Structure 1
Amino acid sequence: MFAERIDRLTSSLVRDILAAASRPGVISFAGGLPASEVLFRASPQVLGQLPDDIWQYGQTEGEPALREQVAIRARALGIACKAEQVLIVNGSQQGIDLVSKLMVEEGTRVLTESPTYLAALQVFRLMGAHFVTAAQDEEGLLPQAVAGADARLAYLVPTFQNPTGLCYSQARRKALAGAFDTQSMVVFEDDPYRDLSFDGPAPAPIVSHLKQARWIYQGSFSKTLAPGLRLGYLIVHPDLIQAMTRLKQAADLHSNRLSQAIVTQLLQDGSLDQHVANILPLYREKRDVMQAALLQHLGDKASWALPSGGLFFWLTLKNEQDVMQLMQEALTAGLAIMPGSAFDPVPHPSSTIRLNFSHSSFEQIQQGIALLGSLIK
C-alpha cells in the first residue's frame, strides 16, 4: 500500500517521551526545549513594521534581506559565501530533510558521529542510509579515521553537540577540514547551538576551513529566538545550491514570510544579539544548578563533562544498567529522561543518558536529579 521506505519510518523517541511527559507534575529533562520564560515574543512595534506585501507568496530561496543578513553573519564566522548561497528553511529539521533528499538513497553511506542527533538519524534512515562511524576521542571525530572513511555524505554537529554537549577545538576542526579535503564526500555541518556559548565565542565552523570539499552549513533561530517561528537556514556550496533550491520549491514553495520578516528586523537592528545576551545568564545558571545537583546525587554513580554551551548533559553510568527500563521507571515516578542508546547510528549496548537543563525550573532540576539519583544503581 505504501512506498517501501515507509517500512523504515520510525517514530522519534523524544517526541514519544514528551507526549508521555505532558501529564501534570512530570519533570522533563527529555526534550531539547528552550526555556519558555525567555522565548522571543514579537512586540506590537515589531509587528507594526511588517512590510505590506508580506501576506503574498514569496521567493523559494527566502526573503532577500534575510538572506543577506545570514550571509553577513556567516562571513563573520569565516565562511566565504554570498547571499545567493543562502536558502531559508522551516527550521533545521527541514534542512536535514532537503539534504537527505539531495544526497541519500537506499544504501548510501553516511558518516556520522556516534552518538548523534536523533532526528537526523530518523530522516537518514527513512531515505535508506547505511551509517558509517569513525573512531573518535574526547575531542570528537579523529581526522585520520575520517581520511580513511568511505561515504557520500558526512553529518556533524561539532558545536555543543546534541546529545553529548561536546564542542570540537579549533585545532581539531582544522585537522578535520584537511581530512575532508582529501575526500569526495559532502560535509554537512549542523550548527544550531553556536550562539548558546557560556565561555566566549565557539571556534569557527569546520566548513570555514575547507578548501576542496563541497559543503552545506546549517543554522537555526529556534534555540536563540523561538522554535515556534520554525525558521532556519542552509548555506550551500555553489555546486549544490540550484538542486537544493529546486527541492525546497518542490517541498513547500517557500518558508513562512511572516517569520522571515520578523527575524530580518531583529538581525538588522541588533535585537537578536541582545536577546541572546539576555538569555545566556539564565541558561548558564540552570547548567550550574544541574551540575551541583548531579555532583550531590550522582557523583559516585555516573561520569560526565560540564558543557560549555548548548542545552545538554551527557551521563555515562558507572554500573551497567538497562537505561530503557530506567526511562520507564523514571517516567512512572514523574521524571522524563532520554536513553543515550536512541542517539546511536549503529545500535549497541549503552549505559548513557541525555539530560536537558534549559526547560525546567531551578526547583524542578534539583528535584528531578535527586529522583534520578535514587533510581540509578
Structure 2
Amino acid sequence: MNVEPFSLELSRPLSTARGEIRTREGFTVEVEHDGETGYGEATPLPGWTESLDECRSALDAVDAEAPALSLSGMDGTPAARHGLELALFDAAARARDEPLYRFLGGEDPTESVPVNATVGDGPPSGTAHEAREAVDAGFPAVKVKVGVRSLDADLDRLRAVRGACPDVELRADANGAWDQPTARRVLPALARLDLSYVEQPLSGPDITGHAALRGAGARVALDESLASASVDEVLAAGAADVLVLKPMALGGPGRARSAALRARKVGVEPIVTTTIDGALARTAAVHVAASIPDVGACGLATGSWLASDLTDADPAPVADGRARVPSGPGNVATCPLGR
C-alpha cells in the first residue's frame, strides 16, 4: 500500500462555517488487491471528517498486508476510510472487468446521471439570470443559496427564479441559517413556489427540530446534520424527506450507497454530492449516484471549484446538466498524476 499527499488549489475560495478554504489537501491511496492495482482518495474536511493529520495517521496504521481488515476500525476517520475503501473497490472492480457502479450493485447500464446547478447569493435579477443560464445549459435542477439575506429578500430572489424558470426543479439551501419560527414561516411560502425542498433549514444538530418541520410546507433535506448524527439516527427520528449524502463524510462509496438504499426503503429521497473532492473521489460519487435507480439530480458538478486536479482530464465531465459515468473497469480509466 502506498499513500501520497496532494494539495489542490481551488479556483475560488470556498466559504465554510470554519472560514475560507483555498486548497483541498488529502492523500491518494494505492493498494494491490485481487491481482489489480486500485486507487483511492482521502480528502478530509474538518467539521465533516477528521483532520488532515488524523487522516494520515489512520492511513499509516493500515495493515499493508491485509488492508481490507483495517476498514472496520476506521469509523472515526471517515475520509481515511473512504480512501482505503475506494482503492479496494477500484481494484476489485478492475478484477471483475466492470465499472465501479456495477460493482457497487447498479444493475442497469448507465451512461450519465443528472446534476444540479448551484446559484449564489445575488440580488433577485442576478439570481434569476444565473438560474436561467443554468437551465439553458441543460441543468434539470437549480439550487439557490439562501439564509444570508433577510427572509423577505430571499423570497424575492426565489420568486424571481421561479418566474424566469417556471419548469425547473427549484431547491434552496439555507445552510442552517434559520431558527424554528423563521423556518415555519417560510416553508409554506416555499411550497407555493413549487420548491422541491429546502436543504438544512435549521442548525445541523437540531434533529428534533427538523422532524417537527416536516409537513409544514416545502420538503426538508438534511446535509450538515449528517456530520453530527448517523443516517440511521436521522431516519429513525423521521427528520428528513431528502438526505444529501457525501461519500467522503460517510466513510466510502459502499457506505454511501447503503445509506441511499436504506433511505429509499422508508420513503426518503437520496441525493449524492461531494465535499469538493479531487477527481478520484468525485468520480466515485458519480458511480455511487449511477448505482441508485432513478436517482434525482445530484450535487456532482463540483469539478469547476478546482484549479488543479488528480487526473489530466475530468473522468466524469458535466455536459447538458448530466455527469458522464465512466464505462471502463474500476473507478477511472487513468491513474492519478505522478503515478
Do the structures match in fold with TM over 0.5? no
**TM-score using structure 1 length:** 0.28
**TM-score using structure 2 length:** 0.30
Higher-RCO chain (CA-CA 8 Å, sequence separation at least 6): 1
Q: Which has the larger radius of gyration?
A: 1
Answer 1 or 2: which has greater helix percent: 1
